Amino acid sequence: MAADDAVFSRGWSMEMLTNESRRAKDYARATAAIVRAMSLERAAQVYDFARFLQTQPAGPSPIPEDSDGWLNDSEEQMQAEDALWDAAYSRHSEEFSTLRETAREEIQSGVTKPLFDAQGNVAE
């Protein structure tokens, strides 16, 4: 089966592929603009995080493709999303507890740095 046949057999139209491609390019441009304004160290962190996300399985989205944004989500959509977050938290609650305790220990020991400076700006 050709790649195009595989895509269309999933029920995707050419318009859906074009919209998806356009959205991906928009995100890439917006992300690149943000990264350009960062220090090299911060830009490397964004790159590392993007690589991490590539290794994670993509879960189902409770938000329909034709949605016009989260501000207009129906009550059902918000409840579906909340259920996904609750399920993810339940699956990983031990890991979150460990991370929470590690963070508390780092804060108490002074290892961490504040996220915001005295003026409320993100600290560098």
Per-residue pLDDT of the chain (124 residues; tens, 9 = 90+): 444 444 444 455 556 557 777 888 888 888 899 999 999 999 889 888 888 888 888 776 655 565 556 667 788 888 998 999 999 999 999 999 999 999 999 888 988 888 888 888 888 7
As a whole number of angstroms, the distance between CA 24 and CA 18 comes to: 10
Same domain, 78 and 48: no
**Of 50, 34, 48, nearest in space to 122 by CA:** 34
Same domain, 38 and 9: yes
| 68 is a domain residue | no
Same domain, 42 and 14: yes
| 88 is a domain residue | yes
3-state secondary structure of 67: coil
Same domain, 81 and 54: no
| 91 is a domain residue | yes
Element (H or E) spanning 59, and its range? Answer: none
Same domain, 46 and 79: no
Q: What pLDDT, on a 0 to 100 scale, did the predictor assign at position 109?
A: 92
**Of 61, 66, 58, 54, nearest in space to 13 by CA:** 66
Q: What single-letter amino acid sits at 74?
A: S
HSE-CB of 74 using CA atoms within 13 angstroms: 7
Domain carrying residue 94: 74-124
